Structure 1
Amino acid sequence: MKVTVGPAQYFRDKGLLEDAGTYIKNFGKTAALIGGHTSREIVEVSLRKSLSEHGISLKHSLWYGGESSESNIDRLVAELKAENIDVLIVTGGGKAIDTVKAVAYRLNKPLVAIPTIAATCAAATPISILYSNEGEFIGIERKAKAPDLVMVDTEIIMKAPVRFLIAGIGDTLAKYFETKSSVKKATPTALNQTAIAIAGQVYQTLLEIGKEAVTSINAQRVTKELEDVIDTVILVSGSVSGYGGDDCRTAGAHAIYSGLTIFPEVHETYHGEIVAFGILAQLCMEKTSDDELKTLISYYQEVGLPFTLKQMGIMNLTDSQWKKLGEITVTIEDMANMPFEVTPDMVIEAVRQADQIGNTMLSGSPVR
């Protein structure tokens, strides 16, 4: 049995980036920074200065490629394998982090993650989610490593657009609903029961203070609620799959997210926003009452999550598009974690039902 609960070390504080070298110096004297264009602009000056102060040379600053794809991973491995690099540093969101987790695994290098948004738990898991270069979901890559160190600068997270935190709340809510479903197929153990307990606490935390955390970013204030939600999204949620392993993985909500990525118009909607809608569709497949769904949608309205296809830019699907959505979604690995067999028609019916219920509550909610 092998259990990787999360990153080896996790630090979160306001202004933490200015002291990055203090923590990274333990991994060697040469480093490469990999991330998105914006994220590298945000961190590179302060990071380079702090590394230099501790005798570390930042030899490269590289764009990860825009998608967590095989071709981008291969390109970065080829570019860095002959270099004298002691430690890889990744900055950005989930796709950047997932890309470099796979690169670090292949190169067998220490990995430091500096998330610039709190939108996923990518920094705390030992898997990478792979996409095509066009953004369509491909699969789950287990030849990836959890970061040796995660550094979260609260001020950087606070200054990011609030939609990223909202998306993080959506993605993290799924831990509760998907774990409840996927664990039904497993024999109870100390590990998976611990994962269930953590998932329940994650859910309660977000219900209680999610709105306050969003308000904190809108007001540009670092509050305890914001700090707690950041830790919940980035770190604590990752420990659910860490403890639970394949017993407590993603399920219907993420499968429906992956299926919806076949529509180019949804690519302007963030991962966690689509997953939030996927939760509603999963609950429809599980025959959850309309009243329960409406209660959850009321929370979505409070924090700003989408709950209809229209809010995600998807409108007027043809019969062939609906058919394709159903057929592709049931092939996604996540769907196999549901405690019953799911057919394409069940997916179509669930997505339509969730959309219909959402539309009854749409008045006054923004279209993204």
Structure 2
Amino acid sequence: MSNSLSQHAIAPAEVLRGPGAWLQGIPRLAALGQRPLVLGRSAVTAQLRQQLVADLHQAGLQPHCAELQFDCCEEDLKKVSAICQNQGCDAVVAIGGGKVLDAGKLLAHRLSLACITVPTSAATCAGWTALANIYSVEGAFLGDVALARCPDLLIFDHDLVRQAPARTLASGIADAMAKWYESSVSSGASGDGLVQQAVQMARVLRDQLMLEAEFALQDPHGAAWERVAEACGLSAGLIGGIGGARCRTVAAHAVHNGLTQLEASHGRLHGEKVGFGILVQLRLEEVLGGNQLAGQSRRQLLPLFRKLGLPVSLEELGLAEAGLHQLQQACAFACSDDSDLHHLPFAVGPNDLLAALVSTCSSERQPA
């Protein structure tokens, strides 16, 4: 048994989930801060945020609102941090999608404030995790930041999440499924009991999503929707918390990070790019690693992703007009020395990755 110390930020201090969780959670929120900074971004959810802020006022709190102009980036964080300090805010309430939640967590971390996350979709598990992704003003991925702890309170209100477009849930399904395809490669042979359990939880999560994803999208008021939405927004985060740093992302997220370097990909959601990255990773395992089971897995995922409306090719990602130089730029970033892509058990260069990018849909009927 190893004597090395492992540190895990496993879960939020408290999680409230279910219909009406927001209103029921306000007393718990009030116990964390009376003058919260309410952080948001999307114009689509502006009216929703106004209602939630009104609820806070009605409960006797003194919220102050701030909006991000870009993705989670240093320029926005600097501006919002000044607002938070000037207004004497004592907590951060992040309401929105993954990038807003990441910005709220990082802001609370830097200012040593209580953090409350309120997801408005199930597109990612960002409301759960002790991790924040940093982007440039243009929307290109720059890196990630490990935080000291998970949020103090996560409010996963089904009524709020249900209002999001179905596309966001499909994106969350792809992002959550990546937990299995990446962790099983990077940590499947680990002798660490917690890591082994996290990998098996990721497998169960994948299986559940394979079985129920279509039903969830067909009926947003059904039991399958609740299970799938919570699997994407909550369970996926728990797996990452238990598995820790050794339950790593691999090529699927590295592909996402590379694609964000191309402006043409910015109209696609995080999970849509990660889902495409799963197909690319499986193609790499099949061609470079000689893993025929990976080829079978890729061919199994393709029809499901198509039914969910997820992009399975560069053309469907909006990159049909991307030139060779641009794609090479994305591949070079994804293959940089510190990239998670190198957790694959074989060497991958930019040209290898480019070949996989353009052949995710190929050989669908080739025998195993």
TM (normalized to structure 1)? 0.90
Distance 1:149 1:338 in 2: 35
Whichever residue aligns with residue 248 of structure 1, its letter is: C
| Secondary structure at 2:358 match in 1 | helix
The alpha-carbon deviation at position 302 of structure 1 amounts to 2.4
Match of 1:337 in 2: 343
Match of 1:51 in 2: 56
User: CA contact under 8 A between 2:256 and 2:270: conserved in structure 1?
Assistant: yes
**Residue range with higher mean Cα deviation, 18-27 or 167-176:** 18-27
Match of 1:254 in 2: 253
User: CA contact under 8 A between 2:49 and 2:95: conserved in structure 1?
Assistant: no
Distance 2:73 2:159 in 1: 30
Distance 1:227 1:302 in 2: 19
CA displacement 1:52-74 (0-9 Å, x = unmatched): 3433221x111022211112112
| Secondary structure at 1:311 match in 2 | coil
- Alpha-carbon RMSD across the aligned residues, in angstroms, is 1.9
Distance 2:272 2:363 in 1: 17
Distance 1:190 1:308, change over 3 A: same
Whichever residue aligns with residue 331 of structure 2, its letter is: G
User: CA contact under 8 A between 1:113 and 1:150: conserved in structure 2?
Assistant: yes
Superposed, 1:305-320 pairs within 5 Å as 305-320=310-325
Distance 2:168 2:297 in 1: 26
| Secondary structure at 1:114 match in 2 | strand
Say which structure is richer in helix.
1
Distance 1:284 1:112, change over 3 A: same
User: CA contact under 8 A between 1:104 and 1:145: conserved in structure 2?
Assistant: no
Distance 1:150 1:38, change over 3 A: farther
Superposed, 1:275-294 pairs within 5 Å as 275-287=274-286, 288-289=291-292, 290-294=295-299
| Counterpart check, 1:119 vs 2:123 | yes
CA displacement 1:229-266 (0-9 Å, x = unmatched): 11111111011221111111211001011111122111
CA displacement 1:281-322 (0-9 Å, x = unmatched): 000111154443221111112222111111111114433233
Match of 1:142 in 2: 146
The alpha-carbon deviation at position 17 of structure 1 amounts to 2.5
Distance 1:54 1:322, change over 3 A: closer
User: CA contact under 8 A between 1:6 and 1:235: conserved in structure 2?
Assistant: no
Superposed, 1:4-43 pairs within 5 Å as 4-38=9-43, 41-43=46-48
Superposed, 1:1-368 pairs within 5 Å as 1-38=6-43, 41-58=46-63, 60-143=64-147, 145-184=149-188, 187-217=190-220, 222-287=221-286, 288-289=291-292, 290-331=295-336, 333-356=339-362
Distance 1:348 1:37, change over 3 A: closer
The alpha-carbon deviation at position 143 of structure 1 amounts to 4.0
User: CA contact under 8 A between 1:19 and 1:50: conserved in structure 2?
Assistant: no
**Residue range with higher mean Cα deviation, 27-36 or 349-358:** 349-358
Unaligned runs of 5+ in 1: 361-368
Match of 1:364 in 2: none
User: CA contact under 8 A between 2:40 and 2:49: conserved in structure 1?
Assistant: no
Whichever residue aligns with residue 154 of structure 1, its letter is: H
Distance 1:64 1:10 in 2: 25
Whichever residue aligns with residue 322 of structure 1, its letter is: L
| Secondary structure at 2:359 match in 1 | helix
The alpha-carbon deviation at position 175 of structure 1 amounts to 0.5
Whichever residue aligns with residue 341 of structure 1, its letter is: A
TM (normalized to structure 2)? 0.90
| Secondary structure at 2:121 match in 1 | coil
Give percent identity, aligned residues only.
28
Distance 2:276 2:282 in 1: 10
User: CA contact under 8 A between 2:21 and 2:155: conserved in structure 1?
Assistant: yes
User: CA contact under 8 A between 2:173 and 2:213: conserved in structure 1?
Assistant: yes
Distance 1:48 1:327, change over 3 A: closer
Aligned length: 353
Whichever residue aligns with residue 57 of structure 1, its letter is: Q
